[in-house]
A and B are shown apart, each in its own frame.
Chain A
Amino acid sequence: MTPPAATASPGLPHPDLVAAIPRLRRYARVLTGESSRADDLVQDTLARGWEKRRLWRSGSDLRAWLFTIMHNVHVNQLALARRDAANVSIDADPGNPAWQLPVRANQLERVELLELLQHMGRLSADQREVLLLAAVEELRYEEIASILQIPIGTVMSRLSRARSNLRQLIAEPASALRVVK
């Protein structure tokens, strides 16, 4: 018998897509900076994925494929939003990051992680995105370049800037926090 996870059953949630949802939601939060908009983005991405399913090459990395779709859907939505309102903010509200942490670990550790997330919210969306894909998702630079459709050299320089900005934000006293681009 074929393993059930390998095929989609009519009428049932596709197991590979279900498995991808938590990572898609996380990426969407980093992109949008808002939980509610993030889940809308995930839903739009899944819908687009179904539309484009014939372009999916089986055996390749589904996560990277869906990330590419999500990136494009997000970029397109931003472009539309910009056309509608000239001054739409791309970035998260720095004081209120969308990526909330569930209560866990000890309190001190949690405070440190929360601070880290808040600092991350002060990076530009471009830098947050590349940092998530490289440091958290541990994707290869070539894969990131393909998802973002930029040269690999740009991935690496953007990543380097994101890292040094984040270090700088953490090192600064809280009163001196500012948006670093």
Chain B
Amino acid sequence: MNSAHTTPIPEADVQAFVDNQLTPGRAALVEAALLGDAELAARVAALRAQNAALRDAFDPALAEPIPAHLLAATVPPDSRAARFGRRLAPALAIAATLIVGVGVGWFGRDALIERAGTPTTFARQAAFAHTLYAADVNRPVEIWAAEEKRLVTWLTKRLGFQVHAPDLNAVGYALVGGRLVAGNEKPTALFMYENADKERLSLQVRKQAPGSGEAAFRYAVENGVGVFYWIDDACGYAISGNVDRTQLLKIAHIVYGQLAAADAGAPK
């Protein structure tokens, strides 16, 4: 029942009030009516409770991991499919296979990666090097971050091109240091990072063999280590760690952005 002193609140206003979409003036009218109308107050409370319950019921879905084929569908098609054109589906299927990581042996898997136009062993090598050195509590690196300049100069000299140690402090990872790692053709630079929980990430950089000039991007899980790797400007990059894919992707973007800025000075 509405009190004798207030005009009835239209149904549309009750809805909008519950959804916080009413203008302040009309919201004030509803507020006033609530004081004198227990039935209206109960209805508003019930609708608000329903909204809250729906959010509670549906919000956990947002935390679910993203399937690989959907992740692949967010890659700009120009770079993703320049050569594959409409025959993109096989490449996406391969990405899904990498994530699942079962049912296909090492050799079969390498053949699949090769067909997708990416290096056969970079992700694997990156994951192995990461596992080996990240687990080493006392000596994960050859040169510590305290001598970052010396580290970068040394790795630049050994790799034969300018390398950079990206700053990942924005995502909570500090540079631990770096080392040189043997690659299958050329030496690889490894930068190790660590967060407050002592979780480690590594960025590995190497010169790519000629002929793989296009930018490619892949995600793989190798022996339980997540690896994002890509090729850009004749260099291969791999970021590895035991962190979830979303976080790793975020870090990969920061690394990509900083390296592009360092190399070109004018990222788009």
Is the pair B67, A136 in contact by a Cβ cutoff of 8 Å?
no
A165, B12: Cα distance in complex, Å: 16
Which residues of A7-46 are within 8 A (CB) of B?
A: 7-15, 17-18, 21-23, 25-26, 29, 39, 42-43, 46
Q: Which of B61, B72, B249, B261 contacts A1 (CB under 8 A)? A: B261
A interface residue count range (under 10 / 10 to 19 / 20 to 34 / 35 or more): 35 or more
Q: Shortest beta-carbon distance, B255 to chain A, in Å?
A: 8
Which residues of B91-142 are within 8 A (CB) of A?
A: none
A7, B254: Cα distance in complex, Å: 11
A134, B217: Cα distance in complex, Å: 37
Interface of B toward A, CB cutoff 8 Å: 11-12, 15-16, 19-21, 46-47, 50-51, 53-64, 66-67, 69-80, 214-217, 230-232, 246, 249-250, 252-254, 256-258, 260-261, 267-268
Q: Shortest beta-carbon distance, A161 to chain B, in Å?
A: 11
A-B contact pairs, 21 of them (CB 8 A): A2-B257, A2-B267, A10-B78, A10-B215, A11-B79, A11-B216, A11-B217, A13-B72, A14-B75, A15-B250, A18-B66, A21-B66, A23-B62, A39-B67, A46-B73, A50-B77, A99-B58, A102-B64, A132-B54, A141-B19, A160-B12
Q: Which of B21, B70, B217 contacts A141 (CB under 8 A)? A: B21
A180 at the binding interface (Cβ < 8 Å)? no
A67, B12: Cα distance in complex, Å: 24
A90 at the binding interface (Cβ < 8 Å)? no
Is the pair A160, B11 in contact by a Cβ cutoff of 8 Å?
yes
A163 at the binding interface (Cβ < 8 Å)? yes
Name A's interface SS. helix
Q: Which residues of B contact A82 (CB under 8 A)?
A: none
Is the pair B64, A22 in contact by a Cβ cutoff of 8 Å?
yes
Q: Which of B61, B71, B76 contacts A18 (CB under 8 A)? A: B71
A138, B232: Cα distance in complex, Å: 40
* Contacts A42-B70, A136-B55, A163-B50; A9 near B62 (Cβ below 8 A): no
Q: Shortest beta-carbon distance, A11 to chain B, in Å?
A: 4
A3 at the binding interface (Cβ < 8 Å)? yes
Is the pair B76, A50 in contact by a Cβ cutoff of 8 Å?
yes
Q: Shortest beta-carbon distance, B91 to chain A, in Å?
A: 12
A130, B258: Cα distance in complex, Å: 42
A104, B63: Cα distance in complex, Å: 12
Which 4 pairs, one residue from A and one from B, show the smallest C-beta to C-beta distance? Answer: A4-B257, A11-B215, A17-B74, A10-B79
Which of A2, A4, A8, A15 counts the most chain B CB atoms within 10 A? A4
Q: Shortest beta-carbon distance, B211 to chain A, in Å?
A: 16
Q: Which residues of A contact B76 (CB under 8 A)?
A: 8, 10-11, 14, 50
* Contacts A12-B217, A136-B58; A39 near B70 (Cβ below 8 A): yes
Q: Which residues of A contact B267 (CB under 8 A)?
A: 1-2, 7
Is the pair A13, B249 in contact by a Cβ cutoff of 8 Å?
yes
List 20 additional contacts besides A10-B78, A21-B70; criterion CB under 8 Å.
Answer: A1-B257, A1-B258, A3-B257, A4-B257, A9-B215, A9-B260, A17-B74, A18-B71, A18-B249, A21-B74, A26-B58, A26-B61, A50-B76, A99-B58, A109-B56, A132-B54, A132-B58, A136-B59, A140-B21, A156-B12
